[in-house]
Amino acid sequence: MNGAEALLQTLIDNGVRVCFANPGTSEMHLVAALESYPSMRAVLCLFEGVATGAADGYGRMAGAPAATLLHLGPGLANGLANLHNARRAATPVLNIVGDHAASHQSLDSPLQSDIESAASTVSSWVGRPTEVDALGPAVVEAIEAGGVSTLIVPADVSWSDGAQAGGRATARTRPAAVPDLSHVLSSGEPVAFLLNGSALSEEGLAAADRIAQATKSKLFCPTWPARLRRGAGVPVVTPLSYRAETVADQLDGVKHLILVETGAPVTSFAYPGQDGRLTPAGAQVHQLGGGAAALKALAADLAPDVRARGAAPKHIDLPTGLLDADNWAYVLAALLPENSIVVDEAITSGLKVLPDAFAGAPAHDVLGLTGLAIGQGLPLAAGAAIACQQRPVVCLEADGSAMYTLSALWTHARERLDITTVILNNRSYAILRAELKRVGARAEGPGAASMIDLVGPHLDFVSLSEGMGVPATRAGTVEELAAQFKAATSTPGPHLIEAVLTGSQ
Site for its own copies in 71-110 (CB under 8 A): 73-75, 77-78, 80-81, 84, 88, 100-101, 103-104, 107-110
Transcribe 305-365 into DSSP letters. Answer: TPPPPPBPP-------SB--TTHHHHHHHHHPPTT-EEEEE-THHHHTTHHHHHTTSSPEE
Q: How many residues bind its own copies (CB under 8 A)?
A: 100
Which of the residues 249 through 268 are near its own copies (CB under 8 A)?
Answer: 263, 266-268
Q: In this structure, are residues 178 and 290 in contact, taking their beta carbons and an 8 Å threshold?
A: yes
Confirm or reject binding of residue 464 to its own copies (CB under 8 A): yes
Confirm or reject binding of residue 66 to its own copies (CB under 8 A): no
Question: What's the length of the chain?
Answer: 505
Site string for its own copies, 324-363 (x = CB under 8 A): ----------------------------------------
Confirm or reject binding of residue 466 to its own copies (CB under 8 A): yes
Which of the residues 21 through 60 are near its own copies (CB under 8 A)?
Answer: 21, 23-26, 28-29, 31-35, 38, 42, 44, 46-47, 49
Confirm or reject binding of residue 244 to its own copies (CB under 8 A): no
Nearest partner of 359 among 488, 238, 494, judged by Cα:
238
Q: In this structure, are residues 489 and 473 in contact, taking their beta carbons and an 8 Å threshold?
A: no
Confirm or reject binding of residue 162 to its own copies (CB under 8 A): no
Confirm or reject binding of residue 505 to its own copies (CB under 8 A): no
Pairing of strands 419-425, 495-500: parallel
Site string for its own copies, 120-149 (x = CB under 8 A): xxx---------------------------
Q: Which one of the spans 55-63, 112-120, 341-349, 419-427 is the region binding its own copies (CB under 8 A)?
A: 112-120
Q: In this structure, are residues 17 and 43 in contact, taking their beta carbons and an 8 Å threshold?
A: no
Residue 250 carries which side chain, given as an amino acid letter? Q
Residue 312: HSE in the Cβ half-sphere, 13 Å Cα cutoff: 3
Provide, rounded to whole angstroms, the least separation between the CB of residue 162 and its own copies: 14
What is the dihedral angle through the alpha carbons of 436, 440, 446, 447, rounded to the nearest 10 degrees?
-80
Provide, rounded to whole angstroms, the least separation between the CB of residue 504 and its own copies: 16
Provide, rounded to whole angstroms, the least separation between the CB of residue 476 and its own copies: 17
DSSP 8-state assignment for residue 265: -
Measured in degrees and rounded to the nearest 5, phi and psi for residue 76 equal -60, -45
Confirm or reject binding of residue 304 to its own copies (CB under 8 A): no
Confirm or reject binding of residue 469 to its own copies (CB under 8 A): yes
Confirm or reject binding of residue 277 to its own copies (CB under 8 A): yes
